[in-house]
Amino acid sequence: MNYNKKTVYDVDVKGKKVLLRCDFNVPQNKETGEITSDKRIVAAIPTIKYLLEQGAAVIACSHLGKPKGEWKTKLSLAPVAKRLSELLGQEVIFASDIIGEDAQAKAAALKPGQLLLLENLRFDIREEKNGADFAKALADMAEIFVSDAFGTVHRAHASTAGVAAYLPAYSGLLVDKELSIMGKALDDPKRPFVAVLGGAKVSDKINVINNLLEKADTIIIGGGMAYTFKKAQGFGIGTSLLEADRLDYAKDMIAKAEAKGVKFLLPVDNLCAAEFSADAEPVLVEGDIPEDLMGMDIGPKTAELFAEAVKGAGTIVWNGPMGVFEFDKFAGGTKAMAKALAESGAVTIVGGGDSASAVEKLGFADKITHISTGGGASLEFLEGKELPGVACLLDK
């Protein structure tokens, strides 16, 4: 897949109408609807400002939540329009529909330097189905398409890929940053290249491990998925998370790593508990886990082993926590990993989702080279999959 795409810097937008796909899928208070984190809105500002300063009239669009084609007032983008106008220090015109009369009239009247935000794209069922008529109606309002929602580029939706059939498509600054940093890490990494994978399930990371075995020098496995690998090696894992149907795959991966000369590191000790609870008492176990205990986090020896493995790395990619980090007693492994990355001196990339929240929650975010804005998208990126919302952009 070609990651070298034309960006907003490669097109003259002066006097043009630009359809800009943003990721304004912000967390909200379920009761009040108040935005609890505006990080995704803030992340879109550089591209918006650049386009407005260059004399474009910008028609921004995004989804919010999962309305599944139903008009749900609680999932309206109106609060986003309000917050965006505060951050930009200028009025954000808001359309009460997506491609209806209000949106079309406001888009037609939009002047250079002005910003319009359309209502939640997913209020229309055709958005997620990549309906050609819906994509064309969106495209008809503009002359250029800019994709700046990395969190959605793995989806072939009308606003992420469909509109590119009708408009020249460029990447925004956020998508460009993701593609250049993550693309380079996978295609031409500074070595040694270390991949750290955690999270609950092996099945979520099958293609990632497969792809990284071709590229990495060391693969580190932690989190719930490690227990399937430990079982495959013949260890007792007690009541730990196990995907029995993935045992053969786990054996194959361990053998493949050995054949390729890739270091494949698994936990040597674990913090275990009798039940899955924040109040459970941690029990440190080396070797076989007793039948009545489950692994909840990597132990101190493992944390040291993993930290040692990332020392001196040139590039480190991390996706997935090392344990049940949302329980304080079992957050130590994830914390140790975040600290090791922060102190490594390597190019460090943290895939979105849980590992990104962990790094931010633990206070190491400012010491990481790049924290991806897309959970699912960064995972599919690591799998080496073609991302529809990137494939549709113009090549440089």
Catalytic residues: 40, 201, 353, 376
Place of tokens 């006097």: 15
Q: What is the DSSP string of 62-123?
A: ---S--TT---GGG-SHHHHHHHHHHHTS-EEE-SSSSSHHHHHHHHHPPTT-EEE---GGG
Exposure string (b/e) for 326-355, b if CB count within 10 Å is 16 or more? ebebbbbbbbbbbbbbbebebbbbbbbbbb
- Alpha-carbon distances of 315 from 72, 161, 182, 329, rounded to whole Å: 44, 31, 10, 30
Q: Cα torsion for 235, 241, 243, 249, to the nearest 10°?
A: -50
- Beta strands 269-273 and 294-298: pairing type? antiparallel
DSSP one-letter code for 7: B
